[in-house]
Amino acid sequence: MKVPTGDYFSKFLSKPLGLSFRILFFSLHLSFISSCVSSNAFGTEDNPEPNLNDILSLAKVSSSCDGNGTFWIRNLVKNSSNCVQTHKVASGAHVNIYATSGLESALDYQFVAQEFDTKIYPKLGEAFGYSDDLDGDGKVAVIVSDIHDGSKAGSSFVAGFFDPVDYFPDNSDYAVRSNYSNIVYMDGVELLTVRNSDLSQGKPDTFLATLAHEYQHLIRFQYEARIMAQGGGRDEAWINEGTSEVAADIAGYSPQINRINCYRGRNSNSCSRGANGNSVFGSSKFNSLVDYAFAYSFIKYIYVVSGNDAASRNSLFRAGVQGPKGYRASDANGLFQLFKTNAANYQNASQEIKNAIGTDPNEIFLKMYPAFLWQSLGDVSPEFAQLGTDTNGSSQFLQEISKTIQHFPFPASGNEGDVLRKLYDPLRIPEITPMGQLVPGQIQFVKADRSNTNSISKMVLLKKNLDGALYSLQINADTRRSGDVSISLGIAENDDEGQEAIVLPESDDSRPVCPHEFFKLSRSRTKQKIFQEYKP
pLDDT in tens, 206-230: 999 999 999 999 999 999 988 888 8
Q: For residue 520, what pLDDT band results from cuts at 50, 70 and 90?
A: low
Query: Between these two residues, 53 and 199, which has the higher pLDDT value?
Result: 199
At 149 the pLDDT is 86
At 515 the pLDDT is 57
Burial status of residue 39 (CB atoms within 10 A of its CB: 0-12, 13-18, 19 or more): exposed
Residue 438 lies in a domain: yes
Fill in the DSSP letter of residue 2: B
Residue 245 lies in a domain: no
Query: Between these two residues, 288 and 347, which has the higher pLDDT value?
Result: 347
pLDDT digits (tens, 9 = 90+) for 406-460: 999 999 999 999 999 999 999 999 999 999 899 999 999 999 999 999 999 999 9
> Is the pLDDT confidence value at 397 over 70?
yes
Instruction: Say yes or no: 48 and 158 in one domain.
Output: yes
| Alpha carbon distance 110, 99 (integer Å) | 12
At 360 the pLDDT is 95
Which of 28-32, 66-70, 264-268, 273-277 shows the lowest mean pLDDT across its residues? 28-32
Which of 9-23, 242-256, 469-483 shows the lowest mean pLDDT across its residues? 9-23
Instruction: Say yes or no: 284 and 310 in one domain.
Output: yes
Residue 402 in 3-state DSSP? helix
> Is the pLDDT confidence value at 198 over 50?
yes
Q: What is the DSSP string of 22-55?
A: HHHHTT---SS------S-TT--SS--S--HHHH
Average pLDDT rounded to a whole number, residues 139-151: 94
Instruction: Say yes or no: 105 and 60 in one domain.
Output: yes
Average pLDDT rounded to a whole number, residues 253-269: 90
Most confident of 130-134, 306-310, 484-488, 501-505: 306-310
> Is the pLDDT confidence value at 260 over 70?
yes
Q: Distances from the Cα of 425 to the Cαs of 155, 264, 308, 376, 419, in angstroms?
A: 27, 9, 24, 9, 10
Instruction: Say yes or no: 46 and 135 in one domain.
Output: yes
> Is the pLDDT confidence value at 62 over 60?
no
Q: For residue 59, what pLDDT band results from cuts at 50, 70 and 90?
A: very low
At 508 the pLDDT is 57
Q: For residue 27, what pLDDT band results from cuts at 50, 70 and 90?
A: very low
At 488 the pLDDT is 31
Residue 243 lies in a domain: no
> Is the pLDDT confidence value at 13 over 80?
no
At 516 the pLDDT is 57
Query: Between these two residues, 52 and 80, which has the higher pLDDT value?
Result: 80
Average pLDDT rounded to a whole number, residues 372-397: 98
Residue 56 lies in a domain: yes
Strand partners, 491: 521
Query: Do residues 369 and 477 make contact, with C-beta atoms less than 8 angstroms apart?
Result: yes
Share of the chain above pLDDT 70, in %: 77
Instruction: Say yes or no: 391 and 354 in one domain.
Output: yes
pLDDT digits (tens, 9 = 90+) for 344-384: 999 999 999 999 999 999 999 999 999 999 999 999 999 99
Average pLDDT rounded to a whole number, residues 166-180: 89
Residue 7 lies in a domain: yes
Instruction: Say yes or no: 527 and 379 in one domain.
Output: no
- Structural domain of residue 340, as residue ranges? 251-481
Number of domains in the chain: 2
Instruction: Say yes or no: 112 and 229 in one domain.
Output: yes
Residue 241 lies in a domain: no
Instruction: Say yes or no: 174 and 141 in one domain.
Output: yes
Instruction: Say yes or no: 428 and 355 in one domain.
Output: yes
At 34 the pLDDT is 30
At 42 the pLDDT is 28
Fill in the DSSP letter of residue 445: E
* Alpha helices per DSSP H over 201-342: 206-229, 237-251, 257-264, 289-306, 310-322, 332-342
At 78 the pLDDT is 87
> Is the pLDDT confidence value at 102 over 70?
yes
Which of 111-115, 390-394, 530-534 shows the lowest mean pLDDT across its residues? 530-534
Instruction: Say yes or no: 227 and 120 in one domain.
Output: yes
Residue 239 lies in a domain: no
Which of 131-145, 260-274, 405-419 shows the lowest mean pLDDT across its residues? 260-274
Strand partners, 86: 100
Q: Which residues contact 509 (CB under 8 A, 6 or more apart)?
A: 154, 155, 269
Cis check: omega of the bond before 505, within 30 degrees of 0: no
Its pTM surpasses 0.95:
no
Alpha-carbon torsion, ordered 441, 359, 402, 385, to 10 deg: 50
At 533 the pLDDT is 26
Q: Which residues contact 466 (CB under 8 A, 6 or more apart)?
A: 377, 379
Average pLDDT rounded to a whole number, residues 307-317: 97
Query: Do residues 306 and 532 make contact, with C-beta atoms less than 8 angstroms apart?
Result: no
> Is the pLDDT confidence value at 404 over 70?
yes
Instruction: Say yes or no: 299 and 326 in one domain.
Output: yes
Burial status of residue 214 (CB atoms within 10 A of its CB: 0-12, 13-18, 19 or more): buried
**Mean pLDDT for the chain?**
82
Instruction: Say yes or no: 435 and 534 in one domain.
Output: no
For the chain, how long is the longest CA-to-CA vector? 77
| Alpha carbon distance 338, 356 (integer Å) | 18
Average pLDDT rounded to a whole number, residues 52-66: 49
